[in-house]
Amino acid sequence: LTEACLSAIDAADALGAFVHKTPDLALDMARAADAKRGPDAPSLNGIPLGIKDLFCTKGVASQAASKILDGFKPEYESTVTTQLFERGAVMLGKLNMDEFAMGSSNETSTYGNAVNPWRKGNSDEALTPGGSSGGSAAAVAADLCLGATGTDTGGSIRQPAAFTGITGIKPTYGRCSRWGIIAFASSLDQAGPMAKDVRDAAILLEAMCGHDPKDSTSADLAVPDFEAMLTGDIKGKTIGIPREYRMDGMPEEIETLWSQGADMLRDAGARIVDISLPHTRYALPAYYVIAPAEASSNLARYDGVRYGRRAKLAQGDGITEMYEKTRAEGFGPEVQRRVMVGTYVLSAGFYDAYYNRARKVRTLIKRDFEEVFADGVDAILTPATPSAAFPLGMEMDDPVQMYLNDVFTVTVNLAGLPGISVPAGTDATGLPLGLQLIGRPWEEGDLLNTAYALE
Ligand code: GLN
């Protein structure tokens, strides 16, 4: 299996999904897995996976797709990848992504973009695989690996999953340890699996989550057997359809997909109810204040001393020039934009007007969800994205247009809830479209089972 994946990866270089291949390591891990075959083999024994470049992997380049981390090979392994490898998973290599996970198209990567394996009808125009976990999505969709890790700060697992016709789940904030995952916005970041279907996602998620004393926000809760919860029985469940997600100018095919999804859940025995999440329209602006604020603080550590790359200095340059030149050369334009926005909203004169206000909005958004869950709603159904995958290059000149990709996904991160994207149909040109289900905190098992009924 590992050999088959390695040759598929070599044959698919044009997709730009893998940015560091680790064939020797993969074959060693596969041999070790072979030696453990049998009834007592661990749950992922010999299963070849791709790992997003945001995860620190011991002795293997881990660059968050940024030039500033050129040559960085961590001395340690992230908790999530440690857990996957302890269960026998094989690492095929590191996967492309947007730089520091900032983006929705994989185009901010220092390696260049990954490409969506899907095409619109008969056109050969290259499309984005989505972002930031674009390499993970492309690799799973093109059968280069059996599953991949992703991370999701505002939609980076769910949007690329929707764009490539695969399944991706972002668990409740605190389910997976963030230890060893390069930080973007610490109060929003969560790891999760990207997989072929709901069952694979359930198996991978179980391996990835669990309490970790090294991450103080990781929850000390038992991890259920998610796969065993996939019965497809959702009789008596209440599914909410939030009216605020019906946006002006939403393409008709997304509307249709959404109502077909609701019909499928109704046919499976669920009760469909209209609900209101009144603060939804403030989610995107709040996210694009909070995420850059936290990013600007997290990225302060890239100073040309502690990690990765330092710019060439001229005679007489001091420490200020070292910082300036290193950061100007090492960070791409989108990362620089976030650092500028973040430091601005955190600055003394604007802190209350922007950052504190965004935090208040975040609380209101969280309460919207708490109220509907208290009213008996078990899960919420929405489109995963406002469109199908778009052509590469199309939205790069317009950051606000790019940010609008996250309109259905950021609320989930702001509220810390679990969210899953499942393939649910195609647009008129045959491109995959995804539906999102949002669940109650810590109830990933139920959420996966509802998604299983949609599959
Ligand atoms: N596209 C969003 C952003 O650029 C979300 C990214 C993510 O979830 N990592 O911030």
Q: What is the pLDDT of residues 145-173, one digit of tens each?
A: 999 999 999 999 999 999 999 999 999 99
Sign of CA dihedral 234, 188, 91, 33: negative
Please tell me the distance between residue 305's alpha carbon and the centre of ligand 1 in angstroms: 27
CA distances from 359 to 85, 202, 343 (A): 37, 32, 16
Does residue 220 sit in helix, strand or coil?
Answer: coil
Ligand 1 closest atom vs CA 104? 1
As for the ipTM of the complex, it is 0.98
Residue 307 has pLDDT above 90, yes or no: no
Sign of CA dihedral 361, 380, 203, 146: negative
Q: What is the pLDDT of residues 356-380, one digit of tens each?
A: 999 999 999 999 999 999 999 999 9
Q: Rounded to an integer, what distance in angstroms lies between the CA atom of residue 320 and that of residue 317?
A: 8
Residue 192 has pLDDT above 90, yes or no: yes
Residue 450 has pLDDT above 90, yes or no: yes
Q: Rounded to an integer, what distance in angstroms lies between the CA atom of residue 258 and that of residue 255?
A: 5
Q: Is ligand 1 within 6 A of the CB of residue 165?
A: no
The residue written with tokens 């998973």 in the block is: 89
Catalytic residues: 52, 132, 156
Residue nearest atom 10 of ligand 1, based on CA coordinates:
102
pLDDT score at 332: 98
Q: Rounded to an integer, what distance in angstroms lies between the CA atom of residue 402 and that of residue 257?
A: 22
Q: Is ligand 1 within 6 A of the CB of residue 295?
A: no
Please tell me the distance between residue 398's alpha carbon and the centre of ligand 1 in angstroms: 15
Please tell me the distance between residue 271's alpha carbon and the centre of ligand 1 in angstroms: 32
Confidence grade of residue 106 (pLDDT, cut at 50, 70, 90): very high
Q: What is the pLDDT of residues 405-433, one digit of tens each?
A: 999 999 999 999 999 999 999 999 999 99
Residue 250 has pLDDT above 90, yes or no: no
Please tell me the distance between residue 169's alpha carbon and the centre of ligand 1 in angstroms: 15
Q: Which sequence spans correspond to the domains of the chain?
A: 1-278+354-455, 284-352
Residue 340 has pLDDT above 90, yes or no: yes
Q: Measured in whole angstroms, how far is the alpha carbon of residue 380 from the centre of its chain?
A: 19
CATH code, residues 1-278+354-455:
3.90.1300.10
Confidence grade of residue 330 (pLDDT, cut at 50, 70, 90): very high
Tokens representing 320 are 């200020």
Bridge partners of 444?
Answer: none
Beta strands in 68-198 (DSSP E): 90-95, 147-152, 167-170, 190-195
Does residue 434 sit in helix, strand or coil?
Answer: strand
Does residue 168 sit in helix, strand or coil?
Answer: strand
Ligand 1 closest atom vs CA 131? 1
CA distances from 282 to 20, 35, 279, 315 (A): 39, 54, 6, 49
Residue 249 has pLDDT above 90, yes or no: no
pLDDT score at 247: 85
pLDDT score at 198: 98
